[in-house]
Chains A and B, each alone.
Chain A
Amino acid sequence: MKYVVRALGWATKILWILIIVFLVTSVYSAMNVRIGFGDPQVVLSNEFVVISIPLFINNTGLYDLSELNITADVMDHNQSLLSTSTTFVPLIPRGSSVETAQNISISLDNIMSKAQIYLFNDTDFDVNMLAKLNFAHAIPFQVSTNMTIPWGAPLYNFSIGQISYNYLNLTHQEAIILISFENHSPYFGVNGTMQVEIYNDNNEPLGASVSDLNVPSYSSYNGQVGIIVDLSKITGRGEVHFYFETSAFSFGPVVMPYG
């Protein structure tokens, strides 16, 4: 009986020492893990806006970090899901560092299906981020947060002024349309072309023209488009249709009434 008691006493002492050593070294190791984020990069491809957030983890602690899993859900103002992205790093051994990137891809189709909102109105995207990892293969750890990313409309406050006419000859005139908007997007410039078509109130085309656009982020556009129109079809009222072909998006028609 005495030996059993002695063995239990030793087992208890050894276990206490192990727990204390593990706790102290865990706290020390956790304090020696450096996690940092770089500046987000926005890449535009044909179908996606990819927001790439560089991430580096320097593990100078005493234990491995494993199964790092970062998930980011992007939702619009109505809380409908626009994008889900996941970054997985199977192992970050002790004394090593890892550089990776969290790529959040948002389908332009997804955005363009709600183009009326996103092209012309500033709004916010909600981003829910969840990071999970296993510390020392024994302690699961997770951090979750939600943040708001502002979305700046590239065609904010798009409007046309009163149409004026320049006399050309007895059959044709030049319609001058004043156009203005502000590119509030922090991510991309509005670079491409804008096709303008003008119709009378009988829905007959009066004329069309194509203009180049080069509006950087956070700048405004005030321009005018001249269209040769058939004098006999002018009714004084109608619609102007705009079609945008830019490096970031293609959209049209944007219909603006006049007269």
Chain B
Amino acid sequence: MVEKGQIKTFARKFVPRIFRAALLAVVTYLPFFFLSSFTEPFQSFFPWYAPLTSMLFVTAFIIFLVAGVLTYGTIYQYVFGVARTLVMMIFFIYVLNGGDVALSVPIEGITANITVDLRVILAMLVLVCLLGIGKNVIQAIDFVSAKIETEKEQLV
């Protein structure tokens, strides 16, 4: 009877989270999928970009996202949040080749070498990621301090 009740509580707690995690994973993967399909014909212009490496980043991001949703209400939620944002930051640095994008485009028999310095945009993206990390860290501190205060109140 107790076991049945525990399973019921567990299911009530985790099934919505699993659905939410699955939904978020799909929602996260879809833009990447469409973007990859859209950029596939131009991949020869971006020699540093390997789709497999990008797939690894996306997989890591989705794993941390799912783990964060499943550990909702614990300190690990924020740990996975930081990890997810770090993966995103490294992904941006990788995709933008450190802000220095160079490509060779053949135009009417001659090859034009195009270099775009995207360091400003990369800096903005890194800043967003750092803000995300900062937010997760502060939330983690808040979570721990709130937990300690609750425990103290219970002891008193």
**Roughly how many angstroms separate A244 CA and B128 CA in the complex, as a whole number?**
71
- Whether, in the assembled complex, A170 has its beta carbon less than 8 Å from a beta carbon of chain B, the answer is no
**Roughly how many angstroms separate A146 CA and B115 CA in the complex, as a whole number?**
15
The contact string, 1 if C-beta is below 8 Å from chain A, for chain B 88-116, is: 00000000000000000001001111111
Q: Is the CB of A11 within 8 A of B131?
A: yes
Number of A-B residue pairs at CB separation under 8 A? 62
- In this complex, how many residues of chain A approach chain B with their Cβ under 8 Å: the count is 24
Q: Is the CB of B120 within 8 A of A139?
A: yes
Q: Is the CB of B134 within 8 A of A18?
A: no
Q: Which residues of B contact A18 (CB under 8 A)?
A: 124
Q: Is the CB of A145 within 8 A of B112?
A: yes
Interface of B is mostly: helix
- Whether, in the assembled complex, B135 has its beta carbon less than 8 Å from a beta carbon of chain A, the answer is yes
- Whether, in the assembled complex, B50 has its beta carbon less than 8 Å from a beta carbon of chain A, the answer is no
Which of B39-47, B52-60, B62-70, B138-146 is found at the contact surface with chain A?
B138-146
- Whether, in the assembled complex, B127 has its beta carbon less than 8 Å from a beta carbon of chain A, the answer is yes
Q: Is the CB of B142 within 8 A of A8?
A: no
Q: Is the CB of B121 within 8 A of A5?
A: no
- Whether, in the assembled complex, B118 has its beta carbon less than 8 Å from a beta carbon of chain A, the answer is yes
The contact string, 1 if C-beta is below 8 Å from chain B, for chain A 131-173, is: 0000000111111111100000000000000000000000000
**Roughly how many angstroms separate A1 CA and B135 CA in the complex, as a whole number?**
10
Q: Is the CB of A19 within 8 A of B128?
A: yes
Q: Which residues of A contact B128 (CB under 8 A)?
A: 12, 15-16, 19
Q: How far is the CB of A62 from chain B (nearest CB, A)?
A: 16
Q: Which residues of B contact A140 (CB under 8 A)?
A: 116-117
- Whether, in the assembled complex, B125 has its beta carbon less than 8 Å from a beta carbon of chain A, the answer is yes
Q: Is the CB of A23 within 8 A of B121?
A: yes
Q: Which residues of A contact B107 (CB under 8 A)?
A: 145
- Whether, in the assembled complex, A9 has its beta carbon less than 8 Å from a beta carbon of chain B, the answer is yes
Q: Which residues of A contact B121 (CB under 8 A)?
A: 19, 22-23, 139
By beta carbon, the residue of chain A nearest B118 is: A139
Can you sample 12 A-B contacts with CB below 8 Å?
A1-B145, A5-B138, A5-B142, A15-B128, A16-B128, A22-B124, A139-B116, A141-B115, A143-B113, A143-B114, A145-B107, A145-B112
**Which positions in A face B, CB cutoff 8 Å?**
1-2, 4-5, 8-9, 11-12, 15-16, 18-19, 22-23, 138-147
**Which positions in B face A, CB cutoff 8 Å?**
107, 110-118, 120-121, 124-125, 127-128, 131-132, 134-135, 138-139, 141-142, 145
Closest CB pairs A-B (n = 3): A8-B135, A140-B117, A1-B142
